[in-house]
Each structure stands twice: as C-alpha cells, then as structure tokens.
Amino acid sequence: MNFRCLLITVISLFLAACEQRSYDEAALAEPAAPRGSAALKVADIQRERSKYLAYTHHVSIEYPVRELESRYEALLKWCAEDDKYQCTLLDSRLNTSNYVSGHIQVRLLPEGVSTVLEVAAEGAATTGQATSIEDLGDAIVDNQKRLEMLRDYRARLEVLSKKSTDDVEALVKVASELAQVQSDLEFAEGKRSRLLQRVQMDEVNIQFSALAQKSFTQPIGNAFRSFGSRLSQGIADAVTAVAYLLPWTLLLLVFLYVARLVWVRVRRPRH
C-alpha cells in the first residue's frame, strides 16, 4: 500500500514538472511584444491633451542565455541605423559573466516606442512593463517667462548703451551687464531646448536578463579563481581584528588583575 502511494506521488510530480516545462516553453515560443500595451495607448491619448508631458518606458525581457548577447547587439545596431524615429543611445551595459544581463536606454520619437520594443522582445518573453510620466508644464512656462524677461532687459540695455556713449564709466557698466544678461539668456535657451526635447521624445529603458546561468561548473571555477585573493583578504581582516582587539585585551587583563586584588583584600579574614 505504501509503495503504491509513493508511486502515485512520483508520477504526479513528474506530470506537474512536464506541464510546467511545457508552459515555460510556450511562453518563450510566444514573445509578448508590447505594441498593444495599455500604457502606450494611454500615453498617445494624453499627448493630445497636454504637450508638456515627458514619458519614460521601462521593459524587462528574458532571453535564453545564448541569444541574449546577439539580441543586445541587434538592438544597438537598429538604433544606430535608425533615421525614422531619431533613435539616440543614452546608456548601454552588458554583463557576460556567469549570469548574463544587459541594459539599454534610448531616446526616440513617441511613434517609435512600440517598434523598438518589438525589436527588443523578438523571440523573447516580456516579464515586466512600466511607464512613468513627468509633467514639465510649469518648468517650461517658467522658462518661457524668464526668456521674455531677459530679452526685454537686454533690449533696454542695448538702448541704454547707445545713450551712454559719452560716459565711459556708465558704458563699461552697461557692457558688463549686457554680457551677464547674454550669458543668462543663452543658459535659459539651452534649458528650454532640453525641456522641449524631453517632451517631444520618449525615453525607453530595456533590461535584458537570462533565463539561466551559463553553466553549472562556472560558479565553482570562479570561486577557485578568486580563492587566493579572498584568502589574502581574510588574513588581512584577521590581522586587522587582532590589532583592534589587542589593546582591549590588555586593558581587560589589567582590570581582572585589579579586580582580583580587590576581591582578595575583601575576602581576607580580619584579626
């Protein structure tokens, strides 16, 4: 009876494992391309209501270990060759150690977000999506007001400089103030250009991760290769610990000696 129950349990576990494996393979065989993402649809609707919203999209994608690096390079190549969506690479990182992973951050026109996500998720499983939105309306409006104020002030200074041709000291002060205003104006114009670019183009962060480590033995090999450096570091830490503990040990010994003397004197019988 016990043997029959054990056999049934083993068969059940085997069938459950096979079912889970089939589910995982099906998930890999059907890549979840995020073209129809609800967040992207909401973003398109909101762009019509407000033109001062900045969007950042985050996507996590899982690839088989042997395919991750090639897909990573394919996405970099696509961005470098793209002219339609003005793709600009902002950050790229690839880790090819035992646990392979990568990260790519790009900036491009909103119309190209779904396309770049399709390129990244080709033949893979999308495991996470997120969209963050920043309202830059106040910053852009304040910047525009500052630009108008600086331009008006510069125009007044230019008029004043023409009237102060006979007063050298006043002319020098006006010229110095004009230079400062021009510097502030250029800085404000640069900030405006960056703000407008941020709302006109989206940023996309793509995180690549592998489904499993490269090999079973590689972590063991890495541990053996780092054995010497870790041993030396451990010895160094032990020496440092002894250096810190030695003064306290001496102080403790002195305290115990004094305590023993006091104890002996207290316990000594009185005559």
pLDDT digits (tens, 9 = 90+) for 74-117: 999 999 999 999 999 999 999 887 778 899 999 999 999 988 98
Amino acid at 244: Y
Residue 202 CA to residue 4 CA, distance in Å, equals: 61
pLDDT for 25 equals 42
List, for the chain, all residue ranges whose pLDDT scores fall below the cut of 50.
Answer: 1, 10, 14-36
> Which amino acid type is present at position 3?
F
Per-residue buried b or exposed e for 76-108, using 16+ beta carbons within 10 Å of the residue's own CB: bebbeebeebebeeeebeeeeeeebbbebbbbb
Burial label for 30, CB within 10 Å (0-12, 13-18, 19+), is exposed
Structure confidence by residue, pLDDT tens digits, 126-137: 888 888 889 999
Among 119, 91, 121, 131, CA closest to 107 = 91
Pairing label, strands 125-135, 53-63: antiparallel
Q: Taking Cα atoms as reference points, which of 210, 17, 56 lies closest to residue 125?
A: 210
